[in-house]
Amino acid sequence: MHLGAAVLLTLAATLLAVNLAEGEKRIETRVESLYGVTDAQYLRSMGVLLGPTIIEGNSVQHLENGIEIFPAMLEAIRSARKTITFETYIYWSGDVGKRFAEALRERAQAGVKVHVLLDWIGSAKMDESLLEEMRRGGVEVERYHEPHWYNLARLNNRTHRKLLVVDGLVGFTGGVGIADQWDGDAQDKEHWRDSHFRVQGPAVSEFQAVFLDNWIKATGRVLHAEDYFPKIDNAGTMPAQMFSSSPTGGSESMHLMYLLSIASAQKSILLSSSYFVPDELALNALSAAAKRGVKIRIITPGEKIDASVVRRASRARWGQLLEAGIEIYEYQPTMFHCKIMIVDGFLVSTGSTNFDNRSFRLNDEANLNIYDAGFAAEMTKEFEQDVMKARRVTLEQWRNRPWNEKLMEHASSLLGSQL
């Protein structure tokens, strides 16, 4: 082999190995069940041991599907007077992408400071003309981990966060991407089912801080004036926190937050998960919770999914859960993209995080945690409505699936560390 070719092959192999490595030391033992999610000690653990401060005085509005989500986000953008910060994974061309580009550009031309951070891979389907249109209009647009010689070892680390902050006072997060698939009301297989959340109150400052974390990584510039971090009055009664994780610092924090919440469940766990590929620790935690009497129900996508390999890898791991009495449902009408966990009718955790290794250890993620029984009851009703449109998979059905399905599922499961 030619020396130059050998060097290039060695370099490519090295970069692949570095990108597939998981970096920080992983959690290795099961998190013990020591208290409930309504106990003061649990809240101290969540707000001191694991994440940012739990802040009182917030209001949170649930938005269902693009028919509610996009108008609310665009209305907030068009109302901006000082600043807009926007970070997202998916931003594709199409009608929705154009609407957002036009709204952001119009505000920038009106003198609002607009900063947009797009993941390089997640925005690969975006027409470059939309980017140039925003930039010409004064929008600062950056691509997260766009390949350069100095960051080739980070190509497998993507920002999956979904954050919009307007004037430092109103924040949005959830599962939605900026693409036509999310438009409409999940009325057919071409329009996805998803949830997003509009937040007002002091917790919005934590949204801004999480955005700034990756903005600094991408640009080296710090946004810290009052226009970005104004004094925020109470807007409601809900305690909340914005939880974040990243492989470059604290990659296990999101994983641990889920494990601790599952371990602290005493009555119920409702999990809506668009990509559900639990690792051994999560499988054991869920099974242990079910065996101590916690009723657990999980909704995942059915055959209408944008990543069939993920569904196969997920189904390969259901045996232990079904044997423990956990109920698993596959959503039927369309792609199910929600990411919501409700524990004991008190904790609601929602945001960009999927229940898989990629979210727990490889991506930058952000989840809003709300500690409020009233809001949990509202989201439980939404969960029940989704269950009505889902098909339950029993242990007998799972065991009796065709051998070729089992083979493909177990083969897909081998890729679990990258899904």
Q: Does 167 qualify as catalytic in the annotation? A: yes
CA dihedral sign, ordered 315, 316, 321, 322: positive
Q: Which residue in 113, 255, 304, 339 is the catalytic one?
A: 339
Q: Does 410 qualify as catalytic in the annotation? A: no
Q: Which residue in 160, 196, 217, 255 is the catalytic one?
A: 160
Q: In which region does residue 167 sit, left (phi positive, over 0), alpha (psi from -120 to 50) or beta (all else)?
A: left
Residues 6+ apart with CB under 8 A from 245: 251, 252, 253, 254, 255, 353, 360, 364, 365, 366
Rounded Cα distance between 364 and 341, Å, is: 19
Q: Does 224 qualify as catalytic in the annotation? A: no
Q: Which residue in 119, 167, 194, 364 is the catalytic one?
A: 167
User: Could you please report the per-residue DSSP string of 364-395?
Assistant: BEEEEEEE-HHHHHHHHHHHHHHHTTEEEE-H
Rounded Cα distance between 373 and 353, Å, is: 22
Q: Which residue in 191, 217, 304, 337 is the catalytic one?
A: 337
CB 285 within 8 A of CB 31: yes
Q: Does 162 qualify as catalytic in the annotation? A: yes
Task: Produce one character per residue of 304-331: b if its CB has 16 or more CB atoms within 10 Å, e if not.
Answer: bbeeebbbbbbbbbbeebbebebbbbbb
Q: Does 344 qualify as catalytic in the annotation? A: yes
Q: Which residue in 62, 113, 115, 162 is the catalytic one?
A: 162
Q: Which two tokens stand for residue 235?
A: 């807007």
Q: Which residue in 180, 344, 364, 372 is the catalytic one?
A: 344
Q: What is the dihedral of CA 26, 29, 35, 41, to 10 degrees?
A: -40
Q: Does 406 qualify as catalytic in the annotation? A: no
Number of DSSP helices (H) and strands (E) in the chain, helices first: 14, 15
* Catalytic residue set: 160, 162, 167, 337, 339, 344
